[in-house]
Structure 1
Amino acid sequence: MFKRAKVVLPVKKQFMTYLKRGHYEAPLQMLIINDACFAIVPCEVTADLGLEFVKRCKYEYPILVTVSNDYLGYFTPEPEALEELTYEGRGSFFEASRGRILINSILELLGEKENLLKPVDPEKDMGAVEGRVFCEDLEGIHVGLLREYRAPAYGDPPSAPMYGRRIRVDSKGKFFFDKIAPGIVYLYVDREVPGEKRPLLLTWGVPIQVSAGKVSRVEVCVPKELKGRDVEEIDVSEVTYENHSILLKVKLKGKLNDGEVLRAHLYYTKDFFKPHRLCLATPLAVAENTSNSVFVFKEITPGEYVAVAWLDVNDNGRLEPGVDKMSKPVLVTVKE
């Protein structure tokens, strides 16, 4: 059996002039073969939204066929589209309700109207983040939120985030983000520097637990000046393994000033190169620092590891690529 219909999608205000309309009609098709249901849709559907269709479809084999007959960008669950913290959440010409409208249109085409997705109430179903940045100099300070534990990426214009949301703090360092979906989000702080194409990243990965209908509060301290001004390069020059210990020899180009010390962390290779960099917050091992040139990881079992030597430029105790000065990651294979 074959069915088809039109799904009517509301266009975001900033794109109405480009699309020359306030609503857009897109084709929706359905092919049913025995106990399989093929829903043919004109967009990319994220896994979370696709599962909403799978849970509600009465057929044993519900299948989404995406990017068919048109290309309308990413369709996500409504909370993700409302908060606009992910690339997919922001990646469409259409309003945040687009994902809900799509899934409900599919179910209605199937005659399943009793289990439709309900609209999101931002006041009850979403949360907010309120906070303050403490710094001796607040000039140019901005804060941003991301859904993943990773450094921000900047687009065009230079200070525009590729994903997530970013705002300038007020004269007291205060800020507020509304319409944030429940779960953990991660805060970053940067400073716009006159004459520079990209902001100076001061910290990232500050976790904030968001709950529906509540305001989560956070305070962040960042130094006026970062350490390591005279450190040009950190290089792991030699790696050896003996007596269940990994030894790193590190060369430093430049010099350490008073109060500056190098550190070394060890991670599993399979964790270190994931886009979600949560492993950086909890290293597998922290090396004993016998000097600023020799580091030892003890009681290391066979496996694939990554070692990094680094300088904590903002004194927060966390390795933050893009903020801290660090060596290139060194792959270390430990065999029996």
Structure 2
Amino acid sequence: MLVGTKEGVVFLQRDAAGSGWSVAHRALTDKHIHAVIIEPTTNTIFAGATQDTVYASQDDGQTWEKRDKGITQQDIYSLAATQINGKVRVFAGTQPAHLFYSDDMGKNWSELTALRSVDTSAWHFPGPPHIAHTKHINFHPGNPETMFVSIEVGGLLKSTDGGQKFEVITGMDDDVHRTVINPQDPDRIYVTGGDGMYVTSNGGGSWEHWTTTDHEIGGYPDLLTLRPSDPNVAFVAAAHHGPGSWRTSHNAGSRISRSDDGGKTWQVLGNGLPDRLKGSIEAMSLEDWGESFSVFAATATGEVWGSDDGGQSWSEIISGLAPISKGNHYVNLVPA
């Protein structure tokens, strides 16, 4: 398992007996890593760093090289990869909010300038430096030239031609965190953000506001994942309130919740999880192996939590890592 932290990429491995986890390797330890992806056709690992650039490894993280020729904004917030017409394309989103792509595994990059052809006058961010960033990039599972880009804070943008043109998708709050698309029904799209969760069943033609800031799952949802073999099974991680409240409470009050009906109803999970975690949950993944699946969640206070029985029971599989944190989310949650 790869975890991006304030002190680089941490490689975690299960113990031989499968009963525990340990740190196997650390890389890029002088970088605050915002995003880590593995491009599956080549097994190339890409890491994007805060106030820095893109790095790549082709030997399971043992050695790394900077790959950023053409990237003009040196503050990477998001990474994604897909195949278009049989060829791998890698994307990088930045702060300020720009979008870049590479067709040669990151050696050369070009900007998709159409992202900023929409009205950007209201793009902002509440905390310093008050500049919007490209938080998340996603693709239609059947047509990767249709892409969704989340701007925090600025709204949801959609392109149907690989980023040559973009339109703003209306019907939701403009504090957009990420999109999650049902792989079996791509017209069902979930959006998490600062005003809760929005869902469309018609590809974005209209939206329903399914959770609000006073919902029991938490008022500030971010991470959301669906089980690939049964997308009605979903997990969401949400802080009690937004980051502005952490300056005084020093507690994100995070929860993980599960839905078995595609997000219409939610059950707050416990059985090993504290009711409200102090750290904000900044990363989450799901590994589906057919009979059951594992879920993992990492926090801004340096813990990774895991469940190997579909979320029924949880344990802290490792602690003491550097913060797993978007920007400076960790500052008000970790002792100085």
Under a length normalisation based on structure 2, what TM-score does the superposition of the two structures give?
0.26
Give 1 or 2: higher strand fraction: 2
Give 1 or 2: higher helix fraction: 1
Under a length normalisation based on structure 1, what TM-score does the superposition of the two structures give?
0.26
